[in-house]
Structure 1
Amino acid sequence: MKVLVLIDGSKWSQKAALHAIAVAKRKGGKVILFSVLDRREAKAIAFNMGILSQNLRDVQRFEEEIWKDMKKSIKHIMSNLLEMCHREGVNCSLKIVEGSAKDKILEEANSGGYTLVVMGAYGRSGKTRIGSLLEDVVGLIEPPVMIVR
């Protein structure tokens, strides 16, 4: 059994990882923790910071700092989950890619030979409705999908 877990840094994706680890442990499977970083997100935040600070000359600097922090944050979260896998005796690996979340998730989920894809029902915004990324990808992912709330 090979389980893909989509990690976006939200508490929901971390909860999804816990469920995936439990499934993999029971079935003797492997967990792949997968995250997509989209530079467009850093650009948008940096632009907003530039507008708020009334200093658009610093947008490039803001973007680089935000991008660096995004990568550091997701690596930290995934490293903690990797340690948890190892403590539970579950074979686990990390994969972080850059690009469009929808495109990269569909590419990985549908070409990686996965038995199961696990994702949180909500994204980082924590809104009470199902996450928009989930709505975009769930019907296009070929392996079974477990959505964790």
Structure 2
Amino acid sequence: MYDDILVPTDGSPAATAAIEHAVDLAKTYDATIHALYVVDASAFSSIEAGSELVIDALEEEGQRAVEEVTDAAAEVGVDVETNVVSGTAYRRILDHIDSENVDLVVMGTHGRSGVERFLLGSVTERVVRTADVPVLTIRHQDEEEQAAEAE
């Protein structure tokens, strides 16, 4: 059913939750996982001095994030292809879907709402609305939400 599963990651707890689901699905369907980290340098374009240092740090963070996917997949024998790219996150995710013939996207969501979501935007929401393939979203719950649910 699925041959290629894309896991966009930013190294966050929400992304980690998505990785677990993606690895499980990839194992079930004998699929390859595509781990993708997007360095969005546009936020730092106005910084003249030191912008290369910031971009280098983000690329290193990206390598760690995709290595987390590789490590999780290796534990169960799932193949992984990794990429760290620059650009606008949702656009690069959509480009990767097309270029790699991805069948499914599994990505975390931070569960933001209201003004916070409006101000920050939502990469996941844009991918869900515009992708031509199914997108499985995994909502990350913080400790307060988990405690409230347990009551």
TM-score when scaled to structure 2? 0.78
Structure 1 position 120, deviation (Å)? 0.6
- Which amino acid is 1:21 matched to? V
The one of 134, 143, 147 aligned to 2:133 = 143
Question: SS of 1:60's equivalent?
Answer: coil
Residues of 2 paired with 1:76 and 1:64: CA distance?
A: 18
By percentage of residues, which structure has more helix? 1
Q: Displacement of 1:74 after TM fit?
A: 1.4
Q: Secondary structure at the residue paired with 2:45? A: helix
CA contact (8 A) 1:24 1:31 kept: yes
Find the counterpart in structure 1 of residue 64 from structure 2.
76
% identity of equivalent residues: 26
Amino acid at match of 1:6: P
The equivalent of 1:14 in structure 2 is 16
Q: What is the deviation of 1:5?
A: 0.6
The one-letter code sitting in structure 2 at the alignment partner of 1:75 is Q
- Secondary structure in structure 1 of the residue aligned to 2:67: helix
1:38-53 paired onto structure 2 within 5 Å: 38-43=40-45, 47=47
Supply the AA of the counterpart residue of 1:81. V
Checking the alignment, whether the CA contact within 8 Å between 1:7 and 1:35 is kept in structure 2 is yes
Q: What residue number does 1:104 align with?
A: 92
- 1:31-65 per-residue CA deviation (whole Å, 9 max, x = no partner) reads 01012112113336xx4xxxxxxxxxxx512x222
Letter in 2 for 1:112: E
Structure 1 counterpart of 2:37, one-letter code? S
The number of residue pairs the alignment matches comes to: 131
User: 1:60 and 2:62 equivalent?
Assistant: no
Q: Extract unaligned runs of 5+ from structure 2.
A: 140-151
CA deviation string 1:116-147 (max 9, x = no partner): 1111112xxxx633661122221110111100
- Asked if the contact 1:33–1:94 (Cα under 8 Å) also holds between the matched residues in 2, the reply is yes
Consecutive unaligned residues in structure 1, runs of 5 or more: 48-58
